[in-house]
Chain A
Amino acid sequence: MHNWKHISASVWHQSAGQVGLSGVLLLAALAFTSLLWSPYPPEAISGSILAPPSLRHPLGTNGIGQDVLSQLLSGCRVSLLVALSVSLGSAALGFLVGAAAGYYPKRLGVALMRSVDVLMAIPRLPLIILLAVFLRPLLINVITVLIFLSWPGVARTIRAQVLTLREQDSIRFVRFSGGGFTHILRHHLLQELFPLLLAKSAMAASYAIVAEAGLSFLGLGDPTLKSWGMMIRSALDYPGLLWTSAWIWWLLPPAAMVSLAVFSFTLTGYGLDEALRHQESD
């Protein structure tokens, strides 16, 4: 009994990242297959309303007769697209700004950090809603807004690291022998900070998925793309759905998928964090 406790505890610690990563890969595989094949086109009305799961529709149909499974797959595509682009964008932008702020800590750094402080102080969801209302409901806008809100967090962390890295002997040597900022950025800082960036991107990805689902749920997402949030929203909007049993195959799958996606990215980020910390203590 005692042994089992130890085993499960160490499994948790070591495999957090592994479990997360396998979740992410699973989702990526789903998204990729949906590109190539899907039981039905997501928008097509292919069956009767609220039909329970069957051979023709493994996850049943929704309130207007569309195949739930197909919509689920296409939603996977959307969510991963959002997750990837937001994490890439915020990582890139945050890295550049943070590195610049850390490398030139006096005036440029102070100015940049002040704007980071301001951006981070504004409450996120209200701001997202405000921006989403006034911009047209396109996916690209959603992605842009999310990148805009995620990069300050990355920048702050990167800057703190660059501040200390800057004074390391190896970097100082390069500086004094004439290496400019871009050179150091590309050849030294990027390598050094890459794992940290990866960890931060994973967290940004998980937030992006939640935020996109939330926006779709509020009706502010791209109505042409069937994302999971939108599926949940239409399910909840359908009058009386909760009193039938149809919510089990219409509402639960997208809910489970969103949770799975967030869980995977969060665990991946957590695992990367732990790995970084162990590396430092060695």
Chain B
Amino acid sequence: MSRYLKRRAATYLLVLAVALSLNFLLPRSIPGNPIEELSSGLGNLPVLVDPKTLQALQSYYGLDKPLLQQFWSYLEGLTRGDLGYSISYRAPVSQVLVNRFPWTLLLTVSSLLLSFSAALLLGSRWAGSQVGEWRVLLPAVLLESVPSFVLGSLLLILLGVKLPLFPLSGAYSTLSEATGLLRLLDVIHHAAMPVLVLSTSSFFSAYLVVRSSVLLVKHEPYVLMAKIKGLPEKTIRYHYVLRTALLPVVTFFGLRLAYSAGGAILVEVVFSYPGVGRLIYEAVMSHDYALLQGAFLIFTGWVVLINFATDCLYFSLDPRVKEV
């Protein structure tokens, strides 16, 4: 592996280390015993624990051992895939996460594909156009200014309640027994609004990247040459301009893919969509800290993974980076 990739890998490991430390230290930094915190979170009634049970719980969770040792056993547990136990779900955290993460991915990937396709189509046509570009830029800025949860709520009202076109929650109809194609359509139906809302929030920045890349390429001599060769407008726009402007866009796509998972949290909450985003919210509401930390870890882990994959991809596509 080259020096460049090694450096990036080191940075990402550092990121993971920071995330893990945060996960570990934060609950222990608040005043009060984590055990008390944990136990009082179950429901609305404070649970009174007698000193002996408290002691037992403390030694079970290893809270009476020195900090470093606790951290070590925490890390150890992680390598075994043990992320703790969720009190609200009464199941291992890892299990809950594995069940919910694919839904978040569905939303994230679909919305990015949608917004980037729109950005590519519109950007290749309108980039740099003095006359008409405001027609794309203005609505894009307006849409981007509306926070995702606001837009989501409005859409929910208009298309879910006023005109009951779309479902109000969930990823699929829990009561139906449909399989195969019908099931797929049902999933799409449920995902439509969240995906739409998410793509509006990523469209503007995608468009800006496409725009700057296309503008750079549009002034290259081979584009001008294609014009005086009399090549058709469509060929020039797609084959000459778009194709060669693609690289920066692809790497930006990777970047957005990494961070959009976290950005889906609010949308998932609004639409009650069963992904990890909504899970974080539930965990916060029910004081289920193990679940909260697990979700945070999975978001960070996803960011690191995709970032690194993008770095590798960029590295193989652009030979100039090899010399850095």
Direct A–B touching in the complex (beta carbon < 8 Å)? yes
A259-B261 CB under 8 A given contacts A12-B137, A126-B296: no
Q: In the complex, are the beta carbons of A134 and B30 less than 8 A apart? A: yes
- Chain B, interface SS category: helix
B residues less than 8 Å from A258 (CB atoms): 146-147, 150
User: Please, how many angstroms separate the alpha-carbon atoms of A60 and B270 in the complex?
Assistant: 24
**A56 contacts partner chain B, Cβ-Cβ < 8 Å:** no
Contact digits for A128-169, partner B, Cβ 8 Å, 1 yes 0 no = 011101100000000000000000000000000000000000
Q: In the complex, are the beta carbons of B150 and A259 less than 8 A apart? A: yes
Interface hits, A184-239 → B, CB 8 Å: 206, 210, 213-214, 217-220, 232, 236
CB-contact partner of B262 in A123, A217, A255, A262, under 8 A: A123
**B144 contacts partner chain A, Cβ-Cβ < 8 Å:** yes
User: Please, how many angstroms separate the alpha-carbon atoms of A1 and B149 in the complex?
Assistant: 39
A residues less than 8 Å from B262 (CB atoms): 123-126
**A247 contacts partner chain B, Cβ-Cβ < 8 Å:** yes
Residue on B with the closest CB to A235? B153
B residues less than 8 Å from A270 (CB atoms): 141
Binds B, one of A2-10, A29-37, A68-76: A2-10
Q: In the complex, are the beta carbons of A8 and B134 less than 8 A apart? A: yes
B residues less than 8 Å from A259 (CB atoms): 142, 145-147, 150
Q: In the complex, are the beta carbons of A126 and B295 less than 8 A apart? A: yes
**A108 contacts partner chain B, Cβ-Cβ < 8 Å:** no
Interface hits, A1-26 → B, CB 8 Å: 5-6, 8-9, 12-13
A residues less than 8 Å from B280 (CB atoms): 126, 129
**A127 contacts partner chain B, Cβ-Cβ < 8 Å:** yes
Q: In the complex, are the beta carbons of B284 and A218 less than 8 A apart? A: yes
User: Please, how many angstroms separate the alpha-carbon atoms of A192 and B69 in the complex?
Assistant: 51
Q: In the complex, are the beta carbons of B15 and A118 less than 8 A apart? A: yes
A residues less than 8 Å from B266 (CB atoms): 125, 214, 217-218
Q: In the complex, are the beta carbons of B18 and A133 less than 8 A apart? A: no
**B14 contacts partner chain A, Cβ-Cβ < 8 Å:** yes
- Chain A, interface SS category: helix
Binds A, one of B55-63, B180-188, B217-225, B298-306: B298-306
Q: In the complex, are the beta carbons of A122 and B141 less than 8 A apart? A: no
A220-B284 CB under 8 A given contacts A114-B11, A259-B147: yes
User: Please, how many angstroms separate the alpha-carbon atoms of A48 and B168 in the complex?
Assistant: 29
CB-contact partner of A214 in B15, B22, B147, under 8 A: B147
A133-B292 CB under 8 A given contacts A126-B262, A251-B153, A255-B153: yes
Count of chain A residues with Cβ under 8 Å from any Cβ of B?
A: 45
**A117 contacts partner chain B, Cβ-Cβ < 8 Å:** yes
Q: In the complex, are the beta carbons of A122 and B145 less than 8 A apart? A: no
Find the residue from B149, B265, B295 having the highest chain A CB count within 10 A.
B149
Q: In the complex, are the beta carbons of A134 and B300 less than 8 A apart? A: no
Q: In the complex, are the beta carbons of B146 and A262 less than 8 A apart? A: yes
CB-contact partner of A125 in B145, B263, B304, under 8 A: B263
**A40 contacts partner chain B, Cβ-Cβ < 8 Å:** no
A residues less than 8 Å from B300 (CB atoms): 122-123, 126
Contact digits for B276-312, partner A, Cβ 8 Å, 1 yes 0 no = 0000110011000100110110011001100100000
Q: In the complex, are the beta carbons of A123 and B261 less than 8 A apart? A: yes
Q: In the complex, are the beta carbons of A134 and B26 less than 8 A apart? A: yes
**B154 contacts partner chain A, Cβ-Cβ < 8 Å:** yes
29 contacts between A and B (CB under 8 A): A6-B130, A6-B131, A9-B130, A9-B132, A114-B11, A118-B11, A118-B18, A121-B11, A123-B258, A123-B261, A123-B300, A125-B265, A126-B295, A126-B299, A126-B300, A127-B22, A130-B22, A131-B26, A133-B289, A134-B30, A213-B147, A236-B270, A243-B161, A251-B154, A255-B153, A260-B145, A262-B145, A263-B142, A266-B141
Q: What is B's interface to A at a CB cutoff of 8 Å?
A: 11-12, 14-15, 18-19, 22-23, 26-27, 29-30, 130-134, 137-138, 141-142, 144-147, 149-150, 153-154, 156-157, 161, 258-259, 261-263, 265-266, 269-270, 280-281, 284-285, 289, 292-293, 295-296, 299-300, 303-304, 307
Known: A133-B292, A232-B153, A236-B153. 15 other contacts (CB 8 A): A9-B134, A114-B14, A123-B259, A123-B262, A126-B299, A129-B280, A129-B284, A129-B292, A131-B26, A232-B150, A236-B270, A259-B150, A260-B145, A262-B145, A262-B146
